[in-house]
Structure 1
Amino acid sequence: MVFVNFHVVTGGGDGGAWAMLFLSAVEGKAAATFVVLAGVGLALGAQRNQTPSFSILTLKRALFLFVIGLINSLIFPADILHYYAVYFVVGLLLIRRSTRTILIVALVLPLVFVALLFVLDYEAGWDWETFDYAGFWTPSGFARNLLFNGWHPLVPWMSFLLMGFLLARLELGRKKTQNRLMLYGAVALGAAYALSFVLSSDPELAELVTVSPIPPGPLYMLAGAGAASLSIGICLWVFRKGQVNWLTPFTRTGKQALSLYILHIIVGMGTLEGLGMLGGQSAETAIATAGLFIIISVIYAIVWARFFRSGPFEWLMHKLVR
């Protein structure tokens, strides 16, 4: 996600084949995986807490993320936190429903999005040269961005959270489950790219069969779900094998996902702005600066964990919503 976001703010410039291939491979996949993981975490929390207090706590967290996300949007228009807030609120309506109901809704949303493309103007508000969104702070513009044509619109991105709900109902600790997650994820990811390659030769279908997150068509959703399934399966497989001490720096970093997301905007992008690197940079520059930020983030997380149990924004959210 850091690689993609840094590429956006540094100008989205072209670069060598390897750089463009790398950015294309991760574009939209990391964000989708994080939403799926959020769904898994939310569903596991609901399984542990069957009382109304779970919904109240989730709504408080959603409000916190919504406010923080809107503040973030003043700096970085592609903020995802305020979308998370809405995912969580809608998710509460489905989290205790049957597996069949959740699956149907998850499968229908991408189709609804395609139908909306024929009814609504997907390009409304967008300036594709600058990625500015006119009218974002107006009621109609905000609603349109949030629900349909923003960076991570509820329709169809809500399907990723619902996928997390479904995964949480599996026996994730079993070898068989992990193998299936990796296999099905790889097949889905490969199928999405293969179908996109074959079908995109038809100009009339090109926009509908892209694996790019803008617009998030069915094949992008399939690719994102496949990448999430594959990534989660690999992580579970690695932990089941044991000998994971070498992963400690990364697990400590992962525990500060919220803080590091905010810091990569405030500190990371703020530094780029101070150095005059917002716009006009190559893809290689975006990758290099993002890689440097990631290394610094891991070091920071290791040091921070020696003195504190949670990241600064995780601590703040806990204090405000408990």
Structure 2
Amino acid sequence: MKQRVMGFDLARALAIFGMVIVNFKLAMNSETGNEFLLWFSALFEGRASSLFVILAGIGVTFLTNKARKSEDSLIIYKCRLSLIKRALLLITIGLMYTPIWEADILHFYGFYFMIAAIVFMASNRILLIVSASIALSFPILMLLFNYDQNWNWSSLTYMNLWSFDGMIRHVLFNGFHPVFPWASFLIFGMWLGRVDLSQTITRNRLLIWSLITLVTTELIFYFARVYIGDGAELGLSPEEITALFSISIIPPFPQYIISAGSSACIVLVGCLYFSDKFRESKINVWLCQTGQLSLTLYVAHVILGMGALDSLNRLSNQTIDSSLLSSLIFCVCGVAFSVFWLKYFKAGPLELLFRKLTKV
């Protein structure tokens, strides 16, 4: 793809902002404060990160379009090798600072990219089947393995991570963003990247079906929880009912994947329309430039953002007001840095390094 789609960059910026809000809240243990702000911050949990992964899938499609359309074996080989190198680099970067930030998503990204390297030549239909199969595999794994193993839910920490068994479970099944089912977002994004979203009719169809799917899924599982009640008649505890019929990120049942994927599509279409209508607006341009530095800003919000909060002793028992203010300050600084940096360079610091190291 020769020209960047501004709407995708805008969506990346919003995804980063949402992830900063969620992660700062988690890192600062912000569970008290204004009720509205607590509700507002909860809206981004499991939603911003799903949008981020779907956008990565769209990026994979743009990266592999030439190979897919040419069907030249040498081009396909180079493209697959590039994806594998990206995957290994993401895994390395992510694991390097997992001791600092256990909820890191980058090392999971690396494993999603490994799957992408295998399936990027598949047809649209196969991509959707693979995406659905990965999402539906999670309940089966729940029946076979103990999802709670290695978790300390009171502190939301994962124990035995650096053991072989712990790492395998963490990556594939019960980590913060396990391959099964989170890789389904990336594969769906790869399919979405093949859809011509420059066409108004296509955007509208995606928007309408996403709204219908989101509302239907939310209503079905809401009324299911109300109807079942405390679960006594089914021999289940209230906690088990909440886990089985909730649409939360933990545990990531198919209803969460469907709901989060639908909301991501709604935001994405909104960003495409906004960027088209306000293409020359400074706010739109600045936010799109911020989206171009998404990898740099993701790493920076952990290393610099949380590092600064730690030095100020603000990483425990903070109010949601303090957490959101810290998020706002970081996001504003991120926008300012992005605009300044792109005056002199074509891509962000980590983005440039990433391209250099993964070039085939």
> TM-score if structure 1 supplies the norm length?
0.96
CA contact under 8 A between 2:197 and 2:203: conserved in structure 1? yes
String of CA shifts for 1:104-149, please: whole Å, max 9, x gaps.
2222222211122122111111111222111101111000010000
Q: Evaluate the alpha carbon distance shift between residue 29 and residue 142 of structure 1 in structure 2; reply closer, same or farther with a 3 A threshold.
A: same
Q: How does 1:1-322 map to 2 (within 5 A)?
A: 1-50=19-68, 51=75, 52-201=77-226, 202=228, 203=231, 204=236, 205-241=241-277, 243-246=279-282, 247-322=284-359
Q: Distance in 1 between matches of 2:49 and 2:156?
A: 18
The one-letter amino acid paired with 1:239 is S
CA shift for structure 1 position 150: 0.5
Unaligned runs of at least 5 residues, structure 2: 1-18, 69-74
Could you list the structure 1 runs, at least 4 aligned residues long, displaced by more than 4 angstroms after superposition: none
Q: Name the SS for the 2:314 alignment partner.
A: coil
Shift of 1:242: 5.1
Q: How many residues align?
A: 322
**Residue 46 (structure 1) shift:** 1.2
Amino acid at match of 2:290: T
| Deviation (angstroms), 1:173 | 0.5
TM-aligned CA deviation for residue 70 of structure 1 = 0.4
- Preserved CA contact (<8 Å) 2:61 2:190: yes
Amino acid at match of 1:192: T
2-structure distance, mates of 1:43, 1:223:
23
Q: Corresponding residue for 2:10?
A: none
Change (3 A) 1:14 1:217: farther
Change (3 A) 1:252 1:145: same
Gaps of 5+ in 1: none
- Cα deviation for residue 17 of structure 1 reads 2.3
Structure 2 counterpart of 1:75, which letter?
I
Q: Is the 8 A contact 1:40 1:165 kept in 2?
A: yes
Higher relative contact order (CA 8 A, sep 6+): 2
Distance 1:12 1:105, change over 3 A: farther
Which amino acid is the alignment partner of residue 292 of structure 2?
K
Amino acid in the other structure paired with 1:21: W
CA distance in 2, matches of 1:29, 1:232: 12
Look up the equivalent residue of 1:136 and give its one-letter code.
L
Q: Measure, in 2, the Cα distance between the counterparts of 1:14 and 1:115.
A: 36
**CA shift digits 1:206-262 (9 cap, x unpaired):** 212212111111221111101111111112222333544331111111110000000
- Counterpart code for 1:14: T
| Contact 2:151 2:159 survives alignment (8 Å) | yes
Flag the 1:147–1:21 CA change in 2: closer, same or farther, 3 A: same
**Alpha-carbon RMSD:** 1.5
- Residue of structure 1 equivalent to 2:6: none
In the TM superposition, what whole-angstrom CA distance separates every residue of 1:173-198 from its partner, at most 9, and x where no partner exists? 00011112222222222223222321
CA distance in 2 between partners of 1:196 and 1:274 (Å):
43
Decide whether aligned partners of structure 1 residues 6 and 20 sit closer, same or farther in structure 2, where only a CA change above 3 A counts: same
